[in-house]
Amino acid sequence: MSTTSATSPSTGLGFGRVFTDHLTSMSWTPGGWERPQVRRFHNLSLSPATMVLHYGQAIFEGLKAYPHADGEIRLFRPELNARRFQLSAERMAMPELPVDDFLECVSLLVSTDRAQVPDRPGHSLYLRPLMIATEVTLGTRPAEEYLFLVIGSPSGPYFAGDFPAITVWVSEDLPRAHPGGTGNAKCAGNYAAGMAVQRSAAAHGADQVVFLDAREHRYLEELGGMNLFLVRDDPGGTTLVTPPLSDTILHGITRASILTLAADLGLRVEERPVTLAEWRDGSRKGSVVESFACGTAAVVTPIGRVRDAAGEFVIGDGTPGRWSTRLRTELLAIQKGTAPDRHGWMRPVR
Ligand SMILES: *Cc1c(COP(=O)(O)O)cnc(C)c1O
């Protein structure tokens, strides 16, 4: 395997540091897409005048392959990643990659590097499809050459520790996304724009950032790379609440799957705007009993503490809550093939 930094087997794989032996790729020119290629994992050689390095036409995806007890390796809802990749490309004026080509490149990599799909508990093969503008010019217009790549990273748990509750920092003045912006595209620039806030979160002892809406700085949106959920316990019953999708919230596949699983478990679900005040006051009064973030990399991550300039509040007793644990367990069981795939989410790799 190729590594970018020293990661000894004894310290575990961590996340995104070790890569399998191959990559798959397709190039695009105005003539269209070339056929998928499998090559050894290699460094790219790019002119310093390559467009992506200047103007940032770069999009990506993230999905996982899981080994199942029947010997098959299965992907979790990969066609949704393929479709979202098309929407991201459209927003960034990049060429649309057919869903079948996306799926073929992902499957080809997984089957080529099948022996490197880890089967230790909590591990999987994280797949990272990406597309960059490779035309060499400093002209400011959509590029006329692109490279699509899929790389694979055998990965352990995203956060250190088994299943910790994290502390989050609320970004009150710097939003992640703006109405009409690129918040619902999975583009590299969204992450670059969030790095400064991520650094201030770390300076405040927090693991992740929660972003508020750009207009009023009152409504919860999502984390830097995960969607956000609250569990409310009211006299009328228990409700799972998440902010509604918009052009400032990434349409998470884990988010959609959690909403389906929650309904299966008989939880009432609400997609509606939630203010920071509701989160804080509800946690203090005991009506908001749990919160968690979710995404492909970290699956379901409970939030134990929330910090902002005004101080800190604790959710529940600050440890992973009952529903967070249950939803995480259910989702992981389907992904690992230990529970029936009742929604037809798993796709075998051929
Ligand atoms: C990728 C991403 C998510 C999570 O999406 P999944 O499909 O569940 O992995 C959430 N928010 C942002 C900003 C993201 O980039």
Shared-domain flag, residues 178 and 300: yes
Number of Cβ within 10 Å of residue 81's Cβ equals 23
Ligand 1 atom at minimal distance to the Cα of residue 80: 7
Is 64 part of a structural domain of the chain? yes
Shared-domain flag, residues 194 and 146: no
Shared-domain flag, residues 46 and 182: no
Answer with the one of 121, 155, 189 that is the final residue of a domain: 155
Is 305 part of a structural domain of the chain? yes
Contacts of 29 (CB under 8 A, 6+ apart): 144, 145
- What's the pLDDT at 350? 81
Is 300 part of a structural domain of the chain? yes
Is 12 part of a structural domain of the chain? no
Answer with the one of 155, 190, 222 that is the final residue of a domain: 155
- What's the pLDDT at 10? 38
Q: Is the CB of 78 under 6 A from ligand 1?
A: no
Shared-domain flag, residues 170 and 265: yes
- What's the pLDDT at 4? 39
- What's the pLDDT at 304? 98
CA torsion, ordered 98, 99, 103, 106, to nearest 10 deg: 60
Ligand 1 atom at minimal distance to the Cα of residue 222: 11
Answer with the one of 99, 127, 155 that is the final residue of a domain: 155
Shared-domain flag, residues 178 and 38: no
- The residue ranges of the chain whose pLDDT is under 70 are 1-12, 158-162
Shared-domain flag, residues 105 and 219: no
Shared-domain flag, residues 175 and 37: no
Shared-domain flag, residues 151 and 170: no
- What's the pLDDT at 161? 60
Helices of type H across 40-124 = 51-55, 78-91, 99-112
Report d(CA 89, CA 83) in Å as an integer.
Answer: 10
Shared-domain flag, residues 183 and 141: no
Residue closest via CA to ligand 1's atom 10 equals 226
- What's the pLDDT at 11? 43
Q: Which helix (H) or strand (E) holds 191?
A: helix 188-203
Is 341 part of a structural domain of the chain? no
Q: Are 19 and 30 in contact (CB under 8 A)?
A: no
Shared-domain flag, residues 63 and 122: yes
Per the structure, the count of domains in the chain is: 2
Shared-domain flag, residues 78 and 142: yes
Report d(CA 298, CA 254) in Å as an integer.
Answer: 10
- What's the pLDDT at 164? 84
Half-sphere exposure of 125 (CA within 13 A, CB side): 31
Which residue out of 187, 250, 257, 328 has the highest number of ligand 1 atoms within 8 Å of its CB and is therefore the one to mutate?
A: 250
CATH of the domain at 113: 3.30.470.10
Shared-domain flag, residues 200 and 315: yes
Is 345 part of a structural domain of the chain? no
CATH of the domain at 252: 3.20.10.10
- What's the pLDDT at 157? 72
Is 144 part of a structural domain of the chain? yes
Report d(CA 200, CA 213) in Å as an integer.
Answer: 18
- What's the pLDDT at 159? 62
- What's the pLDDT at 2? 46
Helices of type H across 7-46 = none
Residue closest via CA to ligand 1's atom 1 equals 225
* Residue 119 belongs to domain spanning: 22-155
Which residue out of 63, 79, 87, 186 has the highest number of ligand 1 atoms within 8 Å of its CB and is therefore the one to mutate?
A: 186
Is 344 part of a structural domain of the chain? no
